Structure formats: structure tokens, C-alpha cells
Amino acid sequence: MKVPICEECLENEGELCEECKEKQEEGEFSEIALEVSRFLYSLSGQIPTLQDVELKKIEKATDAIIVVTAKGDGPRVVGKNGEVVKQLAEEFEKSIRVVEDSGEPEEVIRNLLEPVEVASINTVYKPEGKEKKVVVSEEDERRVPISEEEFKDIVEDLTGETFSLSFE
């Protein structure tokens, strides 16, 4: 498993080594990323496909945990019949969203909001500059497990671009 945490720190539940402690302080990974990585690492003995997974980022939202993988690793983290995601959801008592980092902002956004359908992604021109807006049906608002602010922060973190979320 490729994560910014050394194998020794993944294996034991105690204190982090100095190198990992420094990485955490510098913001390379969060506390939730450490917990989820440790949990997935513990499952990798029973589920060998997890051993080759690259976890790029793990974010905690109000009602969900977003697990960002390298392109092609999403299905491995979901697991056969969703078994890995189910175990994660049970362990952390939150909805789990697995998003592949494809490098394409629109694809990342659609994966993040799935199963909610994105109506459109628009560029809006305003006097203060342009803004990119993701439009989702008002009817689907309650199905989106993250707030508009969390969406904006997570998408900017993943893509380097700013998108606002709008329900119309």
C-alpha cells in the first residue's frame, strides 16, 4: 500500500516515528488519513488487492469520508461487492466516497458527487472574474454527503481549481 505513512507506523497503533510525525505536522496527512490508512492496511492481509493501492488523500467531511486513490485503484478500495467500503463505513460510522484522481477536474467532481447526477459544469463571468460552478438538481441536495464549503475545499485540494456547488 502506498501512503505517506511508513509501514512501521501503519502496523502499530502507538506514537508515530519522527519522520511520520513531521509529515503530519506539515499537513501531508491528517489524523483521519492515519486512521483510515491503518484500517485499510490491517485489511490488506485478508484482501491482497489492497496491498498495491495508492491512497493519495483522505478527507473528512460532515457526513462522509472521502478516499482519493490513484487512477485505477478505486475499484480495489471499494472491494468485491463493496466489501471494503462497507467495512470502512461500519468502522468509522460515516458514508465513504472513493474518488479516483484522474487529473481531470470534471471527472473528479462527478466521482465525488456520485450517485448524484451533475446537471452541468459552467463558467460564470462576473465583474470580479470568472467562477466555475457545478450545478446539481435541488431534488438531489439532501443526497450530497458534503456541505458546499467542504465540496469547494476538497475539489480545490484535488484539482487546484475553484468550483462552487449550486442546487437549482
Instruction: Report pLDDT digits (tens) over 27-52.
Output: 889 999 999 999 999 999 899 899 89
User: Looking at residue 166, what is its pLDDT?
Assistant: 92
pLDDT above 90 (res 130): no
- Residues comprising the chain, all counted: 168
Is the Cβ–Cβ distance between 64 and 95 less than 8 Å? yes
User: Looking at residue 134, what is its pLDDT?
Assistant: 95
Q: Look at strands 95-101 and 64-70 and give their pairing.
A: parallel
Half-sphere exposure for 45 (CA within 13 Å, toward CB): 5
- Read off φ and ψ for residue 115, nearest 5 degrees: -90, 5
Task: Say if residue 59 is exposed, middle or buried (CB neighbours under 10 Å; 0-12, 13-18, 19+).
Answer: buried
User: Looking at residue 102, what is its pLDDT?
Assistant: 81
Mean pLDDT score across all residues of the chain:
90
How confident is the model over 138-154, as a mean pLDDT? 89
DSSP-derived secondary structure letter, 54: B
User: Looking at residue 25, what is its pLDDT?
Assistant: 92
Parts of the chain belonging to CATH 3.30.300.20: 1-101, 102-168
User: Looking at residue 140, what is its pLDDT?
Assistant: 92
Q: What is the pTM of this model?
A: 0.84
Band of pLDDT at residue 115, cut at 50, 70 and 90: confident
Is the Cβ–Cβ distance between 81 and 127 less than 8 Å? no
- Write down the CATH superfamily of domain 102-168: K homology (KH) domain (3.30.300.20)
pLDDT above 90 (res 12): no
Long-range contacts of 123-131 (CB under 8 A, 24+ apart): 131/162, 131/164
Band of pLDDT at residue 163, cut at 50, 70 and 90: very high
User: Looking at residue 33, what is its pLDDT?
Assistant: 93
How confident is the model over 53-66, as a mean pLDDT? 90
How confident is the model over 149-167, as a mean pLDDT? 89
- Of all residues in the chain, what percent carry a pLDDT higher than 70? 100
- Quickly name the fold that domain 1-101 has: GMP Synthetase; Chain A, domain 3 (3.30.300)
